[in-house]
Amino acid sequence: MKASPISKALEGYEIVDLSHALDDSKPGAHTRYSRITWMTPVMRDGFNAAMIFIFEHAGTHVDAPIHLAGVEGSTIEKIPLEKWVGDCIVLDMRGKEANGLVSVEEVKAWEGKNGDISEGDLVLFDFGWPSGWHEPDPDDKFSYREDPGISEEVARYLVAKKVKLVGSDVPNLDASSDKKSPAHRALLDAHIAVLETMTNLEKLPPRGSFLIALPLNIVDGSGSPVRAVAYIPRL
């Protein structure tokens, strides 16, 4: 079969998985996932199958505007698919202290080195935070308590830039110490998609990758788990 123009164009790219695997061993505050065996090959119908019970905001997931109380907007199935795909930029904020906030000055400094954030960009913040995701967590460090985030001012700066999506590798775009979620509210009020609890962001270049993070088509959903991937240029 002759390769399509899209297939040929993608030959110069590789796919990076940006989603955590779902299982019941991950930190409980942002997982709420269970899998129950329903049939096995030795049972009547002769095939493997299982029932899964999952929180809309489990693991790597997206938020719909309706997720936050007091925010009016779309449920997940009404958000245009174009919101979840596009050119991606990655801001390296590794080393940010626990509960620390990214400032507008830091974002502008990144732009000074890498070029301006543009309308329609999908903007990701790499905090390097999931390093302990698969390890024992007796102090519950990764359960919405100490993770860094972006400030409300940064969120409003990105709203003014008319970006399509903002994401990060932490379970909450706001620092965990701020329970009012001002960054979330600023973005969701502006109908800007939010993507959280990502992984492997350090594998993406500051510019030049293409993100796909499609949610499940859940009627009246406040969010959805996603399998987020990025196409990056082959070296």
Is residue 67 flagged as an active site residue? Answer: yes
Output DSSP code: residue 36. E
Interatomic CA distance for residues 135 and 167, integer angstroms: 23
At 5, list the tokens: 């123009």
Plot region of 50 (φ>0 → left; ψ -120 to 50 → alpha; else → beta): beta
Q: Which of 5, 16, 3, 86 is nearest to 234 (CA)?
A: 16
Q: Are 215 and 57 in contact (CB under 8 A)?
A: no
Plot region of 46 (φ>0 → left; ψ -120 to 50 → alpha; else → beta): left
User: Exposed, middle or buried by CB within 10 Å (0-12, 13-18, 19+), for 189?
Assistant: middle
Question: Which of these is catalytic: 67, 134, 184, 191?
Answer: 67
At 232, list the tokens: 């990056």
Interatomic CA distance for residues 216 and 129, integer angstroms: 26
Q: Which residue numbers are catalytic?
A: 67
